[in-house]
Amino acid sequence: MSDLQVEHGDGEGGAAGVLRVRIDAPATRNALTLSTVQHLHSLLAAEPSRTLLLGSTTPDNFSSGADLDADDATRAQLSDLLYSCYEQIVTRPGIVIAVVEGAAVGGGAQLSAAADLRTISAQARWRWVGPGHGLAVGAWILPDLLGRSRGLDLTLTSRWLHADEAVRAGFAARIDEAPWTRATALAEELARADPAALTRIKQIATRPGLLERLAAERGQNQAGWSGGAPSAREASRQSRLRDS
């Protein structure tokens, strides 16, 4: 069962043609299950020219990443399908805006980074958790977005990137009191632009090398996935210790 809430913006209360997708699994901090990622994958493929706003129903969590309760085989499949979603986001002609109001961890941070634009609240924060699970996470894109030094700092240490630093580093343009309202306004601005020009800008921005690095990270993680992710209880305990 998918945990996505999907709303087409063709009716009252939003920019026409916009697809709003919200992760809705508050009990698991919006953990990404296989069925949820499969649903997202199909949405990205079905209407590639639509502007898509991706966020959550809970302001304290964008997504805690892949479902830690899944078995090892499912976790490996889920990880690989997420990489397919990142590629879809980067290559689809329609713009993707991530709306981040709280914590985005692992796969959640990756989805946000893959988006073309990000609207964020003061409580937004990100962690690219990988080395502790035997994975490389975020190395394909963070050096491009933030510079090699800061990108390596975040991917090697898995430390938190908080909203104020994200703005200083250029990861987001500004902090907004109402990120969903700002995202809708951006979508309305984009709707007045030439769609072909927007697509060309996205294509140029991926060169040189972004898709090659994405494929390399995906392939290496697929080959080296250890299945050594902690249990949900242990991951929660470790997170509390790190945040204390």
Domain ranges of the chain: 4-243
Taking the CA atoms of residue 115, residue 176, residue 193 and residue 204 in that order, the dihedral angle to the nearest 10 degrees is: -30
What average pLDDT does the segment 51-57 reach?
A: 98
CA 96: distance to chain centroid? 10
Q: At residue 187, does pLDDT exceed 90?
A: yes
133 DSSP 8-state letter: G
Tell me which of 42-46, 68-72, 222-226 is least confident.
222-226
What average pLDDT does the segment 119-135 reach?
A: 93
Return the pLDDT at 87.
98
Task: Point out which residues pair with 162 in neighbouring strands.
Answer: 125
Tell me which of 40-44, 70-74, 125-129, 211-215 is least confident.
70-74
Residues 54/99, Cβ–Cβ less than 8 Å = yes
Return the pLDDT at 114.
98
Q: At residue 133, does pLDDT exceed 90?
A: no
What average pLDDT does the segment 213-217 reach?
A: 97
What average pLDDT does the segment 170-174 reach?
A: 98
Q: How confident is the model at residue 107 (pLDDT cuts 50, 70, 90)?
A: very high
Return the pLDDT at 72.
85
Q: At residue 50, does pLDDT exceed 50?
A: yes
CATH architecture of 4-243: Alpha-Beta Complex (3.90)
What average pLDDT does the segment 70-96 reach?
A: 95
Return the pLDDT at 244.
42
What average pLDDT does the segment 207-226 reach?
A: 89
The helix or strand, by DSSP H or E, that contains position 55, with its residue range, turns out to be strand 52-56
